[in-house]
Structure 1
Amino acid sequence: MSNSSSVKPQTLTTNDWRLRPGYLCEGGSDFESVHILLGRFLADRHSEDPLPDVSMTMENGGFEWGKGLPLEKVINAQDDLEFLMKHPNLFRNAIAIIEPWEHVGFNHIGEDVRASLNVAYLAQKIADCDSILFPFWSSGVLDPELVVPLITSGLAVVVEGGDPSVRDASTFNDAKCSLEELHRFTDKLLLSRSPTSAPALFICLGHQLAAQSHIRLIKRAVDEVSSLKYLARDRKGKALKSLKKVCQHIQQVGSTLQVKKKNGHLIAKNWDDPEFAVGPNEKKEVGYRQLWHYESIDTDTFNIPEDLIIAHEVSADEFEGVIDTSIEYEHELNISMFHSDEVNEEAILFANWAYRLLHDTIISHRHILAGSPLSWLMQLPFAVEILCSTADETEVVTECSATCINYKDFESKVIRRSFTCQFHPELLQDLRDISHRHPPTYDELKHDDGARLFARLLYSGMQE
């Protein structure tokens, strides 16, 4: 199905927005109904669609953002954002989708793929969950101090992929948002996970942005702690002394940790290298790939400090990352890949180790830090676990294909999670977006590994 038409539909304004969440359900949609319907979808592979069979394509046969229902909610400018802020029922019962770029790349038949359409379609078709689009590539990055608290008050945040490379800031020159602006936004989003916030799912380029932000945040922590002369109410200086010691250790490891490919090719000399977090993949991955369990690095083969490997093995044993357990549930998971860069395994092992050190050091001094300039450290993740890898036949190509970002509450000890994945769970095997293909049925989605994994991530994240 094509979205072409001799008469182009008009772009909708806020006057055309639905003010009650839901499009398929006669009674509207809310947190409980979305959660129940996601659970129903995941319960088996054969049950009938519990929602009314209502077409979501528009009068011209297309499925386009801002051209018709249910895709009318597009935040193109400050006025749209202000309207949304006046209607909290809308963003509290919806998914926020962040678009860094207008498409995620070109598929095998030359179509540009706007994967955000698939996210919106899956959420609506499976659970009648509305989506709100923030197209940063065309609107610019609106004030993160306003946007992040708003979008994290909803059901979930999805940071989509994009065609540019996070290794080259110039590839973002044609967009209204720069790579640095995306970094600052991602930093803010990573620090926003709280007992009252929505989980985030970072896809492809979003996965890479998150990896770079992990290193940025750890560096910021080291810099701020190292430059601080004293902490008020830290009368014996014990808290600051402990933090400085840990940050010095993190600095020492970061400044010597190299990133190498399996063939010995050096990608980054240390954490100051621009490609420490994300580097070029050995080969471009486009199409279906099977997800494999991540296998811990052999210390005899790779020159990585054993402490980093042990810390990750502890994280993997301690937490459930949904994607890794989904491999067990489904026996085999085949997911669409669409990328040529990859998150470096060494960088995530380092980030996990550094986060755990910082968290454990803060525990006994948190009452002092809570009223200090370093209070933001308590918003950092507790751990980052590599969940799976992808392979081309028998050879692992992308070691770090997905991560689970764990946050541990200092008082309740409750764990909350966000997720990142290099693959695209929202794309079907044909790698086409919904505007270029016949919309998949509920039954088709129930049998698609990517759609099931996407639904499972939403379902699990909503429980936290």
Structure 2
Amino acid sequence: MEWRKTTSWMNPNSGNASTIQSLIGHFLRDRLSPSLLDAQTKKFQQETCGATWGQPPYEKVVESEADLDWLINNPSAYKNAVCIIEPASNVGQNNAKEDVRASSNIAYLCRVIADCDSILFPLWKLGNLNQKKLDHIFETCLAVFVEGGYPTAKDPESFAGQSISLRELQSVIEHLVTARTHKSAPHIFICIGHQLSAQAHVNLIQKAISAIRSDLPSICELNSFQHNLLMDCCDQIEQIGLDLTIQKNGLQIAKGWNDNCFAVALNEVPEVGHCELHRYEHDGVHPSLCFNSLLAEHVETSDIYNGIVEQSISYEKDLNIVMFHSDEVNEESILFSNWAYSQLHHALHPSRHFIALSELSWLLSLPRSIEILCSTFAEGSKCTEVAATCITYIDRETKEIRRSFSFQFHPELLNDLREFNVAGEPNYAKLKSDDGIRMLMRVLYESIID
């Protein structure tokens, strides 16, 4: 194995976080100005035309535990690089009948826009790697992308033939969701990554309820208000989790958080191609009695944490992005998760100091909220309610906020839904004018400076 121990390629001085941020910031400043590395970028595109994973400068493809060990022993090779997790070999087939490995587009974008390295973790063929080693790398790199994939997050059988099961993959995602700590790498979940993160929220809330009920009596006085507050909170969350129904076109397609389709279900209409983004809204009409409380909590979350995607929708006219999916995240599931995270946050706060010293300390790493940022529309009709989310974390002592993001759409794909190394690498000017790529870079920029 011959991997570079550096992360830059076009400029020897760009292998640091500050330069990467400057290059991304320049890219986002307008839609017309050339790259700060204009000459180097053009030379790079000529010399590496058609290059893909396994070929320089995209040679860093993890294929074994030994590769993990090499990375850990050579932190300069990944500290200022993005890590890309592949849940499957491709994200689906486009109109040209090509299997699309969209992760290669992310690697190209990071290189051309920010001279930033990418490291691929193809878990679909790697299988289950040492979780502690993965955690170390994912927490200390620049950012982590979880790409899309053709299987469905609601059916374990769709992962048959891969080296990693749906359950094992969900465990990896759960580790990511609880790893957004101080100075840790942000996470950007795309397509099935977005769906896996939605299921991870439900799984983590269920695990939190179970852990509090089993372990709290040993670390907190039974008659204390902290104990009673947390136990009441658990009862309330469980009751709503069991009673909430998932509705599509006026029909109930799932009930309760134990249903395989509670977090993710088949979209009413498969979405492939262009659509517009609009702010998320709901009229409150829903058969579940608890729904309005969940919606009210989400309105409060939206008011507190107004963010990147909403600003893009407000200031960029007719924001268009590319969809490529048949499943979707259910809005009820996200509204429930946001509400449950809020309830847990408040109930844990009076107990935070002794919980921090106990086996329940991981509860303090749960998100503070998860907001539905936008929905997709095509020809005036709503298609996907949960097109993107912002997962927010708050430091209980400093009140500092950290964020990760998820997208149902593919911001790394252009209109043709093709890999750049197959269709021809787009130049810097074309990338600058694309709404999806600009949004992806804006999210990356904002989250790495949190």
Is the pair's TM-score, using the shorter chain for normalization, greater than 0.5?
Answer: yes
1:421 is matched with 407
Residue equivalent to 1:3: none
Residue type of the alignment partner of 2:122: P
Amino acid at match of 1:455: M
Paired position in structure 1 for 2:198: 211
CA distance in 2, matches of 1:49, 1:271: 48
Task: Name the SS of the counterpart of 1:308 in structure 2.
Answer: helix
SS of aligned partner of 2:243: coil
Structure 1 residues 44 and 30: alpha-carbon distance in aligned structure 2, compared to 1, 3 A threshold: same
1:399 matched residue in structure 2: 385
Q: Report if the CA contact (8 A) 1:218-1:354 is conserved.
A: yes
Corresponding residue for 1:127? 114
Q: Are 1:97 and 2:73 matched, yes or no?
A: no
Q: Report whether the alignment pairs 1:277 with 2:283.
A: no
| 1:383 counterpart residue number | 369
CA distance in 2 between partners of 1:183 and 1:53 (Å): 38
Q: CA deviation at 1:234?
A: 3.9
Compare 379-388 and 150-159 and name the one that shifted more: 150-159
In structure 2, the CA distance between the partners of 1:60 and 1:193, relative to structure 1 (3 Å rule), is closer
- Whether 1:63 aligns to 2:56 is no
Contact 1:214 1:351 in 2 (8 A): yes
Contact 1:293 1:387 survives alignment (8 Å): yes
Match runs of 1:46-445 below 5 Å: 46-51=32-37, 52-56=40-44, 61-66=49-54, 68-228=55-215, 230-232=217-219, 234=221, 236-261=223-248, 263-299=249-285, 304-445=290-431
Structure 1's 284 and 324: CA in aligned 2 closer, same or farther, altered over 3 A? same
CA–CA separation in structure 1 for the residues paired with 2:86 and 2:286: 42
Deviates more, 1:414-423 or 1:293-302: 293-302
Counterpart AA for 1:53: T
Letter in 2 for 1:342: E
Q: Which amino acid aligns with 1:437?
A: A
Report Cα offsets for 1:368-426 as digits up to 9, x if no partner. 21112211110000000000000121111100010000001110111110000100000
Counterpart residue identity of residue 419, structure 1: F
1:22 matched to 2:8: yes
Partners of 1:384 and 1:403 within 8 A in 2: yes
Deviation at 1:27, TM superposition (A): 2.7
Indicate conservation of the 8 Å contact 2:215/2:360, yes or no: no
Taking structure 1 as the reference length, the TM-score comes to 0.93
Whole-angstrom CA distance in 2 between matches of 1:198 and 1:228: 30
CA-CA distance at 1:327 after TM superposition: 0.9
How far off its partner does 1:61 sit? Answer: 4.8
| RMSD over equivalenced CA pairs, Å | 1.6
Instruction: Report the AA paired with residue 182 of structure 1.
Output: L
Amino acid at match of 1:206: G
- Write the distance in 1 (CA, Å) between the matches of 2:283 and 2:190: 24
Q: Distance in 2 between matches of 1:424 and 1:146?
A: 28
Deviation at 1:332, TM superposition (A): 2.2
Contact 1:149 1:192 in 2 (8 A): no
Unaligned runs of at least 5 residues, structure 1: 1-12
| Residues 137 and 175, structure 1, Cα contact 8 Å, conserved in 2 | yes
What is the aligned-residue identity percentage? 44
CA contact (8 A) 2:14 2:20 kept: no
Figure out how many residues of one structure are paired with residues of the other and give that number: 448
Equivalent residue, structure 1, for 2:436? 450
Q: In structure 2, which of residues 12, 18, 26 is the aligned counterpart of residue 32 of structure 1?
A: 18
Q: Is the 8 A contact 1:336 1:427 kept in 2?
A: yes
Q: Which has the higher helix share?
A: 2
